[in-house]
Structure 1
Amino acid sequence: MIIDFSLILKSIPYVLTGLPYTLGISVLSFIIGNFFAILLAFMRMSQKPWLKYPARIYISLMRGVPMLVVLFILYFGLPYVGIQLPALLCALIGFSTVSAAYMAEIFRSSISAVDKGQWEAARSLGLPQKPIIRHIILPQALRIAVAPLGNVIIDMVKSSSLAAMITVPDIFQNAKIIGGREYDYMSMYILIAFIYWVLSFILELLQGQVEKRLTVY
């Protein structure tokens, strides 16, 4: 048989032991990346060249370099200059820095989509710049950004499989181990594809609920 269902059923518990790594890398990198992304978005929109151009260069660089290359530089390249980082930390740094570049453009476009009248009305009330951004502009921009940010977190969950290339014991790495031991990679790849689909489907449902609540609000 091309697919060994009995092997798939027996392997599920072991494969799922890597789930905390898969979700941990994805969620933590998403949260950390969001903080950097908001900062990068405002730097990108700044009229000051010393803020604007470094942000543009960073965003262009991180969007243009494959994630696998970034992970290899962090895990295999840094030891050549005397810096040895754990594989899990390399994965967190890599996914956070790359995702921040994509999310920065999402936030930039979302902030730009907020009606300029909101800025003018807030300034006419004499509000300072920071409270305007924090309490008026960002809440509206976040509502606009929910759908594209949902796509980012789903993509990060799937892309987290690349962490297996630097020995992080996530679900993909565990599936590879069983596939090599049992000489049946096809069954393991079918299993892992199903698990990633289930995770993505759950995130789609959560995204839909968040969109509904923000729309009502």
Structure 2
Amino acid sequence: MVHRDIKPDNVMLAEGHAVVTDFGVAKAVESSTGASSLTSLGVALGTPAYMSPEQAAADPHVDHRADIYALGAMAYEMLTGRPPFTGATPQSVLAAQVTQAPDHVTVHRASVPPALAETVMRCLAKKPADRFQQADELVPLFDALLTPSGGMTPAGTQPVPAVDYSALARRASPLRVAGLFVLAGVGVAAIVFALVRALGLPDWVFFGGVGRGRRWPAPPAYTR
């Protein structure tokens, strides 16, 4: 199936997925003498701003790579705010599709990651053989570009070694664990006691906090 009219108006977002609509000008691809050809020949159909050069020239051998070109044109517009070619008339846009090379994505938006810009520009290659040959080729590229580093490993980083928690558990004896808890408790108590003294608070504040369940002298009564 060759859609032949991939454009923003025909792509809808639903529950996190892109859904292609309007197959009014789509044509089924059939096998003929070992090659793929369209059942209707010699008619340029589609939307000029997103039509591949072979579509614009009414090439009878348009195949699925025309849809890859249209996807590139749509991505180009999403990134730059304009389609690859514009013109006063549909005919001028069709002529540009056939004869002119589009400006590089970064000409209109320098902040686009280089890998993404090159992917889009390859989709817009004039010759179908120079584009991605299957849409499946684009999936891993876009998946990589969605990572925080844009598909690139930051320089100077090293992989984090895996921690063998089972080995750590085997080495942790009950006595060692109990000793660590005692040391941690003593350390916390020492810090709290130091804070009580530093703030000038009475000792019963410290003993009341660490001696839960024990009876300590009641705090002195304050009178006005």
Q: Which has the larger radius of gyration?
A: 2
Query: Whose strand proportion is higher, 1 or 2?
Result: 2
- Indicate whether the TM-score tops 0.5: no
TM-score (structure 1 length as normaliser): 0.24
TM-score by length of 2: 0.24
The answer to which structure has the higher helix fraction is: 1
